[in-house]
Amino acid sequence: MATGFYFDERCMWHSAGEHAFFLPVGGYVQPPAGGQHAESPETKRRFRNLLDVSGLLGRLEVRTAPPATRADLERVHPAAYLDRFKALSDAGGGDMGEEAAFSRGGYEIAALAAGLAMRGVADVMARKVDNAYVLSRPPGHHCLPDKGMGFCLLANIAIALEALRAAQGPLRAAVVDWDVHHGNGTEAIYYDRDDTLTISLHQEACYPTDTGRAGDRGRGRGEGFNLNVPLLPGGGHRAYLDAMELLVLPALRAFRPDIIVIASGLDANGHDPLARMLATSETFREMTRMLKAEAAALCGGRLVAVHEGDYSEVVVPFCGLAIVEELSGLGTDVEDPFLVALSEGQPAPDLVAFQRARLQAQARATFGG
């Protein structure tokens, strides 16, 4: 077996129309060159291109998938939401919520992104591949059941998990979201449930600004099965590794999932324009190494990464390559040219110590002791 890599060029054809980054063009907002929206295909294409030219892509199990069906989508999203999405898509596009714009055909492309996530999760669960990376767009972790949000139109990971449950029955799943923005959509879908542990590491109050608090732990049967780890802006490489060590890994060990899914946003990198977290490609490599080892100990190595947000087309490919190298256990001769500068620009020791003390306090409140 090998690491699976799931991709379809049609996902790169998703468009949110003419924007200046994330603001619609108009009034005093001038069109940039090309009218580029922040959620651009270029970051993902360049990630895949680097896998290709490095020789790593040819050593992976490269696969695609059919779109998710209407029945697949309805396990997570109400019919009224899907009907409106399809109608707007057929009519030329529109907006499904807060910063959730799309153009003609957006419904079909979003269903394809969900279908890629479904197949990646199913293949790993069935041991058809050792583990997997799903490079799809549009992203999904902000999407609520009845409202698009933050460039997300369908809840890709939740759709994949619910399809797996429909096919094989009860399942304990853990979602570890290291996108720099809070995974509020995934949280909302599973907030009342105890069969899915949702963990989000994110820059505090970045997006959405009113969610992602450490005290939000779930509700009813879901109490204790949601874990938010808000990190101070500028926390950098060490903040993520401390968060993994002190909170994420202990939570996974207590829950003992059957499968771990990473919501793999790469926008915590130090050159991302929508955040300020100073992570490096080695941050993503180390977090992947930690989760791969934990998956081996807890759930037979069943680990899937599903792509979420990223907005720096020059740095993202090196972060993605580091993850896939670690998943596959295969090296390349690629050296990250941004690593030295980002490593030298990490926060001062007193900030690192302050952030670690904050995480230790959260760990005591979460696990006792």
**Tokens encoding 341:** 């500068």
Amino acid of residue 69: T
What is each CA distance from 72 to 78, 121, 282, in whole angstroms? 11, 14, 36
Which residues does 89 contact at the CB level (< 8 Å), separation at least 6?
102, 104, 105, 106, 107, 108
> Active site residue: 37, 77, 141, 142, which one?
142
Tokens 């698009």 map to which residue?
A: 148
Distance CA 230, CA 107 (A): 32
**Which helix (H) or strand (E) segment is 259 a member of?**
strand 259-264
Strand ranges for 73-165 from DSSP E: 93-95, 97-98, 101-103, 131-134, 148-149
**β-bridge pairing 23-24 and 19-20:** antiparallel
Distance CA 296, CA 311 (A): 31
Q: What is the phi/psi pair of residue 305, to 5°? A: -105, 130
SS3 content of the chain, % helix, strand, coil (to 5): 45, 15, 40
Amino acid of residue 367: F
Question: Residue 182 catalytic?
Answer: no
What is each CA distance from 271 to 181, 196, 225, 307, in whole angstroms? 15, 32, 32, 18
**Which helix (H) or strand (E) segment is 27 a member of?**
none
**Tokens encoding 75:** 């396990």
Closest CA to 5 of 130, 156, 137, 178: 130
* Residue 63, CB-side half-sphere exposure with 13 Å CA sphere: 24
> What are the catalytic residues?
142
